[in-house]
Structure formats: structure tokens, C-alpha cells
Amino acid sequence: MSHYDEMTCLLYLDGQLDREHAVELSTHIETCGECRTLLAALESESRLLRSALTEEEESVPARLLEYAPEAKKREAAPLAWLATLGFAGSGAFTLWTWFVDPWQQQLNQAGFGGDSFLAMLFFGGVFWKGWETMVNLTELLAAVTLVILAVALFRRGWRRTPTVAVVLGALACLLVLPPAASAAEIRKGTDVQVDKGEVVKNDLIATGRSVKIEGTVEGDLIVFCQNLTMSETAHVTGDVLAFAQFVRIKGQVDGNVRSISNLTTLAGRVTKNVSSFSQTFELDSRSEIGGSLMFFTAMGTLDGRVGRDLIGFGAEHRLDGFIGGSATLKGERLTIGPSAEIAGKTKFTGEKQPSVSERAKLGSPIEVTIVTRRPNYANPSYYWRQTLRWGAAFMLGLVVALLMPGFLRETMREGDSYGLSLGAGVLALVVTPVAAVIACITIVGLAVGISGVLAWIVAIYASQVFVGAFIGQKLLGPAETTGALVGRLAVGLLVVRVAGMLPYAGTLAWLIVIVFGLGLVTLAIVKRSRPEAAAI
Amino acid sequence: MPGAEFTETIARARSGNAEAWGDLYKQYAPAIFRFCRRALPAREDAEDATTEIFMKVRDKLDQYDATRPFTAWLYKVSANHCWDILRRRRIRQDLETGEVETLPLEHPDPGQLDQLMEESTNLQVRSALDKLPARARMALVLRYYSDMSYDEIAGALGVRRAFVGVVLLRARHQLREILIGKKITGAEARGAV
């Protein structure tokens, strides 16, 4: 007895045989056990294939479930859009001409050279000296970890061109950054000391609980510690860069001094310029600065001599020393004492009328601008400024929405759990700078720490974008196209801006926006770094 | 979705209604993702392909013939897209010539085949499927995941209608070989312990 071949059996099972053949086969299997078994086996193979293929053993990624991709459609740019873009453009321009540019000019006057302040602070000169010495295995590992983290974070978007462009751009920057560097000596320990008479013929990087310099450093001194003391006998021929809780400089510095600290006391001689970010800054009467002085501080007391200009930002300033150039101060209060002498112009912008001693010698009458914290609602220019700021924020939002719409949507989803977002926001607001400082102290993490702080500052500004998008979505419903998303962003930012303009409540509104926005970003990043999928 | 309601959703989606489009997407995205997951080698590819397929679908929604099943059309678009991806990557090197298909297949022992099917699990079948050449895998996915007819499979794979059965049977044979290989190694592994 002949049997049917496997092909025919399969076609029969799949209903592909013509009627005549099908009837023939079904008659045959009534009497043929082997063909019946073959048919049964093929059928169970089909069943197995079907069940293996349709079994939902794997979840569908959450991002796929969330939104439908839009088709590319050409839409005419409506008038409102053009107006919005116009505002955005002028906002960005204004931001630059009103804030960034004058700042740079002021900083240039203060002796920061021709380069921009940021470039100077982060990418230039003293920061990167000793780079080569620091590149050992630990730093390499840290760098590799960072890269892996970044890749993991954006893995899902890896093939998308903007991401690749951004990553490659960042890599290119990294390659360009470290300039030719000279080796530096590194000293670590609880108490680091350069004894009297000792000469370090190199740049010195010192970390520890307390760092005491009594001898000579023929190069730059970079210090991360709790307590930095440079005694009268100390002499640094290069710059001093200090991250410390307390900084006391009594000796001589031939270069510049930059300090970030709780308390900075200067009682020695600095040939070039001084800049300080401190809670309290004191310029002792014995001190002398050859160049300019710039400080950001809550309390600034200046009794010493400053050869050139003075620029100060802070709450309270007391000036009782000599300023060879002009003095520009911003803050709440200013007191100019009897021994004060200012050769150039004196400008003060603050909340209260400064108190100026009659015996103080001022090159020209003090120019005072009194500002009140309360915005001037009657002045049309106030609204114009607000519109421009809204435009600037929208511009940033546009970049975010176009470059990483997926991330923006992810942050918007986080907003539904208000408590969690606010909590994460508070955490990010407080922990990031602390972590960055800790990272800086370990030196290894210097670049990480600085990038962390930069990212933190950017995130604080950008928080309004994420909150704006979230609010816009709540008001107008979910956005499916990027265009709709951008529209919701514009509306949401407007709401944020108006809330921030409210008398008294405005400050609170801004605080909430910052905390909430940081929370959204943090949660979205955390979720991204732990890719999970929603089960359906 | 009941028929009338579904037809209306399609019509609204065609006229550019975002909500209707969203409904369609939500209903079919999981199935299309799973389809892509079976047809393409990596999960990331499947994710991207799903998004791309729906972009195509939205563009081509006008071409859909509403008298025919929507899923069949959707799978056809998906199959074409995945097939294009595989072709672009040149992992279709196998069976392109069709020479292999002309070789005679060994007739299986029905009892042994039945036993093999009894012993194999879904997981084993899936991992064996992953090892199949692209066209064989695609054919099985189109037939047993998407429930496409021989005609539709022929259209999607670009082969003659009469050839579909051969492709499917050949794919089954290759799958069995992988499964048998696994059984042996599995038994060896157990014996070694």
C-alpha cells in the first residue's frame, strides 16, 4: 500500500488541496494507520508552532504602548507659531545681550583674560594641569564607567541620529579638552604639610583634612580639603585653587587665587587676581591684591588693598580699604567705612541706601540703584521681559522636544505621582551639589563633580520646561505628535510664567516648579537606567 | 472592537483623527511588536520596526481595502517591512536561490515525529526558530503567528504561490533537525551528570 507524502499531507492540513485530492486522502487515512499518524504528527507540529509563536512570554516595551508615531505631514506654519518662534528668538538674544555678554565683559575687566569665564573656569589652565598624572587606572575605570552608564542610558535611542550626534560631539569635546599638561605632584593624607624652607619644584595637588603650607610651591597649588592654611612664610609662584571649608592665606601668591569655601580670609599678598565663592569673605587690612577682586558671598568685608577693580555680589558688603579701580557691588546692603578709598567709580545696586562714611575718599560720587524685590507690575517693560523669558524657556523646550521627545514624554508620565516627583526633586536639589563636592574632593571625580554641578544648574533652569510640558498636557490632553507636544509646552510654560509673576506666591510657585521639574527628570533618568517594560 | 465601530475608527483615522489613530495603535501595537520580535533577531530591532511599521501604516492607510480583514493587511505591511530590514542587512543569504528547495526531503518516521512534538516545549521551539534562516523563520511566523493564507505569504515573501508549501515544509524540517540536535545534547548533558 502506497502512502501519501509529507508535502501532500501538509497541504491537506492547511486546506490547500483541491477537493478531489482532499477526498481521496481522507478516504485513504481511514484505512492507513501510518498516514493517519503522520497527519496527526504534522497537526501537533502546527499546534506546537502556533502555541510557541503566540505565547506572550515577553512583555511589550512600555514606550511602544504609550503613543502612536505620527506620520510625516506637512502643516502650514500658523501665525501663532511664527510669533512664538519670534519671541523665542528674541528671548534667546536678550538673554545673551542682557546677561551673558555684560557678565563676560565684567569678568574680563576683572582680569579673567580674553576667554569666556566658563571656558576659563572649567576647561582652561589650572584645572587641567596634572591631568596626565591623574590618568591612572582608577581614573580610567571611572571614565569607562561613565561611558558605559551613558551608553546604557541611551541604548534604546542609540541608532537615532540626534543621540549619536550628541554623543559623538561630547566625545569630540572630551578629546579636545585636556591640553598639553605638565606633571604635578600629588600629596594625600589626613594632614598634608609643606614645611618651612621646603620647596616643591612642581605644581602641587593636595587633599586631606587639613593642608598647611609654610614653604614654597614653584607652580600652582590645587587643594581639596577642610582646612587650608598658608602661613606668612608660604610662597606659591603660580595660582592657588582651593576647595575647602576654611581658606586662610597669609603668605604670598604670585598668580591668581580662586577659592570656593565657607570662609575665605586673605591676609597676604596676591600679585594677580582673586575670585572667591564663599559664605564669608574677608580681606584683612594687611592684605594686598595686585589685580582685581571678584566675590560671590553672603558677607564680604574688605579692609585690604585691591590694585584694580572690585566686583562683588552678595547680601552684605563692608568696604573699608583701598580700591585702585572701580567698585561694582550688588547686594542688600553696603557700608563704606572711614578708611575706604576708591579711585574709580563706585556703583551699588541693592535694596537699601548704602551708608557711606563722610571721611571715605571716593573718586566720584557713588551711583546707587535701589531695587525692590517686588516686581513693578505697572511698568509695561516688566511684561515684555516676562514674555522674552518665556520665549527663552520655550526655545529650550523646543530643543528638548525635538532632540529627545521620548525623554520628554517619559518625564511627563512621572508627573502623575506628585508626591514621588516632589520627593525626588528635593533629593536631587540637595544631594547633587553635595555629591558633586564629595566627588571633587576625591580628585578622581573632579571632572564628574564639575559636570554634575553644571548639569544640576542646567536642570534647575530646564525644570520649567518639563513642568510646563506636564501642565500643558494636563490642560489640553495627551499629545500624539511632536507638534502637539510643543504646543502643550508653550501653553504650560505660559502657565508657569504667570504663576511665577503672582505677588508673594510667585516665589513659592517657582520653588515648586524647580523641585517638581527636577523630580520629573530624576525619576525619568532612574527609570531609563533600569529599563523595564509594562506587562499587558 | 465590533465591526461597525471598527470601520468607523478606520474611517476617522484615515481622515486624520488623532484619537482614532491612537485607538488603532493601542489595539494592534502589541501584536505587531510580537510579530517583529519573532521575525527579527533582536528585541531592539523589533521595537524600532514596530514604530516604523506604524508610521508606514498611517501613511498608507488610504490604500487599505476596508472590505478585507485589517489584521491581514497590517501583517502584510509588517512582513514586507521586516523582510526589507532583513534584506538590507543581507542576512537573507540563505535560500535566496531556491536551489535548496528543489532537493528532495527525507520522509519522516511518523511515530518519531509525533514523539518529538510531544517532547518539545514552546521555549525550545522558540529558541530553535531563532536559529532558522530568515526566510524559513519568516514563513513559519507568517503562517502560524499571523495566520496568513498561502496567497498572502507568497505575496509577502515574494515567492510563487505553489512554492509556499515547500518553503513551509522545508522550514519544519530544519526546525526538527535543530530540535533533535537539542534533544541529543540535552540527553548527553543529563547522562554526564
Question: What does the pLDDT read at residue A462?
Answer: 87
| Interchain contact, A60 vs B33, CB within 8 Å | yes
**Bigger pLDDT: B100 vs B179:** B179
Residue A365 is placed in which grid cell?
A: 560720587
CA separation, residue B5 to residues B1, B11, B23, B31, B69 (Å): 6, 10, 12, 20, 14
Question: Is the Cβ pair B110, A51 closer than 8 Å?
Answer: no
Task: Give the residue among A185, A186, A241 at the shortest CA–CA distance from A208.
Answer: A186
For chain B, what is the radius of gyration of the CA atoms? 19
The residue written with cell numbers 504667570 in the block is A498
Average confidence (pLDDT) over A168-192 = 59
**Pairwise CA distance, residues A322 & A307, whole Å:** 8
**Alpha helices (H) in A350-417, listed in sequence order:** 380-403, 405-414
Buried b (16+ CB within 10 A) or exposed e, A251-287: bbbbbbbbbbbebbbbbbbbbbbbbbbbebbbbbeeb
pLDDT band at B190 (very low <50, low <70, confident <90, very high): very low
Rg value, chain A, Cα: 33
Distance between CA atoms of A320 and A186, rounded to whole angstroms? 39
Name the 3-class secondary structure at A293.
strand
CA A82 – CA A79 distance, rounded (Å): 5
What distance separates the 2 farthest-apart alpha carbons in chain A? 129
Instruction: Please report the pLDDT score of residue A290 as a whole number.
Output: 92
Using an 8 Å Cβ cutoff, are A3 and A34 in contact?
A: yes
Nearest-neighbour CA in chain B from A66: distance (Å): 8
pLDDT of B165 higher than 60: yes
What would the pLDDT profile of A238-264 be if each residue is shown by its tens digit? Answer: 889 888 888 999 999 999 898 888 889
A467 CB-near residues (< 8 Å, 6+ apart): A415, A492, A496, A513, A516, A517, A520
A352 touches chain B (CB under 8 A): no
Query: Using a CB-CB distance cutoff of 8 angstroms, which residues of chain B are in contact with residue A16?
Result: 150, 165
N- to C-terminal Cα separation, chain A: 53
pLDDT at position B127, please?
86
Among B176, B175, B173, B134, CA closest to B157: B134
d(CA A260, CA A244): 7
Strand, coil or helix: what is B39? helix
Q: Map A400-463 to HEC letters.
A: HHHHCHHHHHHHHHHCCCHHHHHHHHHHHHHHHHHHHHHHHHCCCCHHHHHHHHHHHHHHHHHH
pLDDT at site A119: 46
User: What does the alpha-carbon distance between residue B147 and residue A300 come to, in Å, rounded to a whole number?
Assistant: 79
Q: Are A400 and A467 in contact (CB under 8 A)?
A: no
Reduce the DSSP state of residue A229 to 3 states and report it: strand
Give dist(CA A290, CA A272) in Å, integer.
5
Residues B58-117: pLDDT tens digits?
A: 888 888 887 888 888 888 889 888 888 887 765 545 544 444 455 566 777 888 888 888
Considering only CB atoms, A71 lies closest to which of B55, B118, B143, namely: B55
Which of A40, A65, A67 lies closest to B114 in CB terms?
A40
Query: Which residues in chain A touch residue B103, judged by CB atoms under 8 angstroms apart?
Result: none
B165–A11 CB contact, under 8 Å? yes
Whole-angstrom Cα distance, residue A509 to residue A499?
6
Residue A303 predicted with pLDDT over 60: yes
Average pLDDT, chain A: 77
User: Which residues in chain B are contacts of A40 at CB distance < 8 A?
Assistant: 110, 114
**Distance between CA atoms of residues A478 and A473, nearest Å:** 5
At residue A74, the 3 state secondary structure works out as coil
Q: Which residues contact A12 (CB under 8 A, 6 or more apart)?
A: A4, A21, A22, A25, A26, A39
What is the reported pLDDT for A110? 53
Contact A273, A289 (CB under 8 A): yes
Q: State whether B168 and A55 contact (CB < 8 Å).
A: no
Closest C-alpha among A311, A316, A282, A277 to residue A299: A316
Rounded Cα distance between A327 and A311, Å, is 6
Closest by Cα among A408, A391, A393, A380 to A481: A408
What pLDDT is stored for residue A137 in this prediction?
40
Optimal mutation site among A7, A16, A57, A64, interface B, most CBs of chain B within 10 A: A64
| Share of residues in chain B with pLDDT > 90 (%) | 5
A148 confidence band (pLDDT: 50, 70, 90): low
| Mean pLDDT, range A420-437, rounded to an integer | 84
B88 burial type by CB count under 10 A (0-12 exposed, 13-18 middle, 19+ buried): exposed
Cβ–Cβ of A60/B122 closer than 8 Å? no
Band of residue A323 on the pLDDT scale cut at 50, 70, 90: very high
> What's the whole-number mean pLDDT along residues A392-416?
81
The pLDDT tens digits of the residues spanning A151-179 come to: 555 554 444 445 555 555 555 455 444 43
Confidence of residue A77 (pLDDT cuts 50, 70, 90): very low
- Other C-beta atoms lying within 10 Å of the C-beta of residue A358: 5
Measure B20 CA to nearest chain A CA, in Å.
11
Residues of B in contact with A52 (CB under 8 A): 122-123, 125-126, 129
Region of residue A111 (phi > 0: left; psi between -120 and 50: alpha; otherwise: beta)? left
User: How far is CA A455 from each of CA A100, A116, A452, rounded to the nearest angstrom?
Assistant: 18, 19, 5
A24-59: pLDDT as tens digits = 988 998 888 888 888 888 998 999 999 888 887 777
pLDDT for A100 equals 60
In the structure, what pLDDT confidence band is assigned to residue A441 with cuts at 50, 70 and 90? Answer: low
**Given this model, what pLDDT does residue A212 score?**
92
Instruction: Select from A53, A67, A72 the residue whose CB has the most chain B CBs within 10 Å, as the one to mutate to test that interface.
Output: A53
Calculate mean pLDDT across residues A405-415: 82
Above 80 in pLDDT, residue A334? yes
Q: pLDDT at position A123, please?
A: 41
* A50's grid cell: 502556533
pLDDT reported for residue A532:
44
**pLDDT value of position A492:** 92
Mean residue pLDDT across chain B: 79
Model pLDDT for residues A462-492, shown as the tens digit of each residue: 899 999 999 998 888 777 677 788 888 889 9
Residues facing A350 on adjacent strands: A331, A370
pLDDT for the residue B103: 58
Contact between chains at A14 and B169 (C-beta distance less than 8 A): no
Contact criterion met (CB below 8 Å) for A271 and A290: yes
Cβ of residue A532 closer than 8 Å to a chain B Cβ: no
pLDDT for res A533: 40
Residue A44 at interface with chain B, using a CB cutoff of 8 Å: yes
> What are the residues whose beta carbons fall under 8 Å from the beta carbon of A329, sequence distance 6 or more?
A310, A311, A312, A313, A317, A319, A346, A347, A348, A349, A350
B47 vs A208: CA distance, rounded Å: 50
pLDDT at A151: 57
Question: CB burial class (10 A; 0-12, 13-18, 19+) of residue A228?
Answer: buried
Task: Report the pLDDT averaged over residues A361-367.
Answer: 86
- In whole angstroms, how far apart are CA A510 and each of A224, A497, A507? 34, 9, 5
Q: What is the DSSP letter of A98?
A: I
For chain B, helix, strand, coil in percent to 5 are: 75, 0, 25
Q: What per-residue confidence (pLDDT) applies to B187?
A: 43
A with B: how many residue pairs have Cβ under 8 Å apart?
Answer: 132
| Beta bridge partners of residue A174, listed in sequence order | none
A487 by Cβ neighbours in 10 Å (0-12 / 13-18 / 19+) ranks as: middle
Q: What is the pLDDT of residues B122-138, one digit of tens each?
A: 888 888 888 888 888 88
Is the pLDDT at A429 greater than 70, yes or no? yes
d(CA A97, CA A101): 5
- Determine the 3-state secondary structure of A212 from DSSP: strand
Region of residue A294 (left: phi > 0; alpha: psi -120 to 50; beta: else)? beta
Report d(CA A412, CA A390) in Å as an integer.
20
What average pLDDT score do residues B41-59 get? 85
How far apart are alpha carbons A165 and A179 in whole angstroms? 23
- Are A350 and A330 contacting, i.e. CB atoms less than 8 angstroms apart? yes
Tell me whether strands A322-323 and A333-336 are parallel, antiparallel or unpaired.
unpaired
Of B50, B111, B143, the CB nearest to A64: B50
